[in-house]
Amino acid sequence: MIRVRVMAVGVEPTSKWPFVLLKDDESGMVLPIGIGFFEANQISMKLENREPPRPMPYDLLRSILEQLGVTVEKVVVNALAQNTFFALITLRVDGQTLEIDSRPSDAIALALRVQAPIYVAEEVMEEAGVQMRDQEEVKLESPEELREIPAEVEAAAETEEEELEKKIGVLRLKLQKAVESENYEEAAKIRDELSALEKRRRKS
C-alpha cells in the first residue's frame, strides 16, 4: 500500500465536476478521483479549517465513533473497476478489526476528521495514477462554486448521468497531464477511453 495525502480539491475545467487529488510524496504520483459536490464541499472545508455552524454528517459520524470507543485505523482506496473507485475503512473496536466498504470520498472525508492515514493500493495507483514532474504544480480551476453549496445540503444519490460526468472529468484531467508529461502512449489510451464514455453520454 502507498500512503498518500489529500493534495487538493478542484474542479475539472471542462466538465465542471469536482475531484480530489491524492498524492504520494515519495514518487510524485497523483491519483485523481471524481467525487460529488457535497463530498467535495466537506473535504474542502476540512482542508481549509472551515467549521460548519452545526455538525455535518461526517462530524456526527466522528462523534459517534468516539463515543463508542471505535478507532479509525486507516482508509484505503483499494480497487478500481470500470472507472469506479472503491475504498475500505478499517476500524478497531473492542480489540477487533473491522473493514467497512465505502466510497473513497466518504472514507477521505472521515479520515481527515479523525486524522487517520490514507492509503492507495499499489495496483490502483499504477493503473490510474498520474506522474508529476519535479516541482510541477497541478493547475486547477478554482473550486469557488463549491463554497456556494450550503453546508446544510444533504447528500443526494448520484444518477447514472452524474457518475458518467465524474468519470469523464477525471479522464480529461489525466489526459491533460499525460500530454504535458509527453507520455503519448498513455495519452492515446486515455483518449480512446474518454471517447467511448463521451459517445455513451451522447446516446443517453
Contacts of 145 (CB under 8 A, 6+ apart): 11, 16
Q: Which of 58, 18, 23 is nearest to 42 (CA)?
A: 58
Q: How far apart are CA 62 and CA 60, in angstroms?
A: 5
pLDDT of residue 152: 36
pLDDT of residue 151: 38
Q: How far apart are CA 204 and CA 184, in angstroms?
A: 30
pLDDT of residue 204: 58
Three-state DSSP class for 121?
coil
**Which domains occur in the chain, in start order?**
2-157 (3.10.690.10)
pLDDT of residue 144: 45
Give me the tens of pLDDT residue by residue for the chain, a chain 204 residues long: 999 999 989 887 777 788 899 999 999 899 999 898 889 889 998 988 888 878 889 999 999 999 999 999 999 999 998 888 999 999 999 999 999 999 999 999 999 999 999 999 999 999 899 887 543 444 444 444 444 443 333 344 455 666 777 777 777 777 777 776 777 777 788 888 888 877 776 765
Q: Which of 23, 21, 1 is nearest to 12 (CA)?
A: 21
Q: Which backbone phi and psi does 30 adopt, to 5 degrees?
A: -125, 135
The DSSP annotation for 80-105 comes to EETTEEEEEEEEEETTEEEEEEE-HH
Largest CA distance in the chain: 52
Spacing of C-alpha 196 from chain mean position? 22
Q: How far apart are CA 158 and CA 84, in angstroms?
A: 13
pLDDT of residue 190: 81
Q: Which of 74, 82, 84, 83 is nearest to 107 (CA)?
A: 74
Contacts of 165 (CB under 8 A, 6+ apart): 15, 17, 201
* Overall pTM surpassing 0.75 (yes/no): no
Question: Are the CB atoms for 113 and 59 separated by under 8 Å?
Answer: yes
